[in-house]
């Protein structure tokens, strides 16, 4: 193992302690009203959101350490519904920049309600009821990470709308995420998957990330034996099509 890899793994490892302290602190405030005093409804909401995101970060730390342990990456398969994978990925995503929407998503009790709520945010969901509630054998953590990254890009680079379509085809789950932004010129179709590569920021999209999301998604897909196709042209939006083999199919 290279020195740099050890340095990074140690940094990730050392995040565990402060995260555990944050988790314990928030849990005490939520569960021990007799000691810390009662909470208003709004305070409880904020603390629950903070706790949810602390747990997401803790899971990411565990995933990162487990990934480092195995060269090829490891799979953590379980039986999950697309409704819970996508629902949770959306809540985590909106928790970051629009907590009002994430609360609305949490309150949705049906696919139709969720579709309406998201449509108001310019996110169109095309999934049929059957697939929405079907039990699929998948690595939930990896799927959520993929969805979060692709959706966060699409929402960041869109002009108005993003469409997410999911369907099953020949034993695989296909998820297509399409936006109506500036698109990606053909000369960058390979490069956007390189670590730290970013196209020049435009006036319409000056937001800077780290150029790591797509490279990470590729690694996760490789672990699952999946693939990703990019279909885009300058000025014509971008569509990322992800194909994930379903175990047991």
Ligand X SMILES: Nc1ncnc2c1ncn2[C@@H]1O[C@H](COP(=O)(O)OP(=O)(O)OP(=O)(O)O)[C@@H](O)[C@H]1O
Q: Which residues bind ligand X (CB under 6 A)?
A: 153-154, 157, 179, 181-182, 184, 192, 197-199, 209-215, 238
Q: Considering the complex, what minimum distance in angstroms separates the CB of residue 74 from ligand X? A: 23
Partner from ligand X, Mg ion, none binding residue 132, C-beta < 5-8 Å depending on class: none
Q: Which residues pair with 228 in a beta bridge?
A: 242
Between CA 145 and CA 78 the distance in angstroms is 16
Tokens of 116: 């309406």
Q: How many residues bind to Mg ion according to rule CB under 5 A?
A: 3
| Residue 26 vs 151, nearer CB to ligand X | 151
Separation of alpha carbons 219 and 195, rounded Å:
11
Q: How far is the CB of 192 from ligand X (least distance, A)?
A: 4
Helices (H), 120-212: 129-133, 140-157
153 touching Mg ion, by CB under 5 A: yes
Q: Running DSSP on this structure, what letter comes out for residue 166?
A: E
Residue 213 binding Mg ion, by CB under 5 A: yes
**232: contact with Mg ion by CB under 5 A:** no
Which H helix or E strand runs over 3?
Answer: helix 3-14
User: 151 vs 166, which CB is nearer to Mg ion?
Assistant: 151
**In whole angstroms, how close is the CB of 162 to ligand X at the nearest point?**
9
**Minimum CB distance to Mg ion smaller for 181 or for 213:** 213
By the rule CB under 5 A, 145 interacts with Mg ion:
no
Q: Which partner, Mg ion, ligand X, none, binds residue 86 by CB below 5 to 8 Å per kind?
A: none
Spatial distance between the Cα atoms of 215 and 156, rounded to a whole number of angstroms: 17
Contact 116/58 with Cβ under 8 angstroms?
no
State the minimum distance, in angstroms, from the CB of residue 53 to ligand X.
Answer: 16
Those residues whose C-beta lies under 8 Å from the C-beta of residue 173, and which sit 6 or more positions away, are 82, 136, 138, 166, 167, 243, 244, 246
Instruction: Name the site residues for Mg ion (rule: CB under 5 A).
Output: 153, 209, 213
């Amino acid at each position: 193992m290279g020195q740099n890899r050890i340095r990074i793994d140690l940094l990730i490892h050392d995040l565990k302690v402060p995260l555990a302290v944050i988790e314990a602190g928030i849990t005490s405030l939520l569960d021990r009203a007799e000691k810390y005093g009662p909470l208003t409804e709004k305070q409880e909401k904020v603390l629950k959101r903070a706790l949810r995101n602390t747990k997401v970060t803790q899971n990411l730390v565990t995933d990162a350490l487990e990934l480092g342990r195995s060269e090829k990456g490891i799979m953590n398969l379980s039986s999950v519904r697309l409704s819970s994978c996508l629902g949770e990925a959306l809540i985590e995503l909106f928790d970051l920049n629009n907590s009002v929407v994430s609360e609305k998503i949490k309150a949705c009790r049906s696919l139709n309600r969720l579709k309406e709520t998201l449509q108001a945010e310019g996110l169109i969901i095309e999934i049929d009821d059957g697939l929405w509630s079907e039990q699929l054998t998948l690595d939930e953590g990896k799927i959520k990470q993929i969805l979060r990254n692709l959706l966060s890009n699409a929402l960041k680079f869109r002009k108005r709308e993003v469409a997410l379509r999911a369907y099953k085809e020949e034993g695989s789950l296909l998820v297509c995420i399409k936006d109506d932004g500036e698109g990606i010129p053909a000369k960058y179709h390979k490069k956007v998957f390189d670590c730290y590569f970013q196209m020049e920021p435009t006036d319409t999209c000056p937001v800077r990330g780290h150029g790591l999301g797509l490279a990470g998604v590729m690694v996760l897909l490789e672990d699952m034996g999946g693939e990703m196709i990019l279909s885009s042209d300058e000025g014509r939006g971008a569509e990322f099509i992800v194909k994930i083999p379903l175990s047991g199919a």
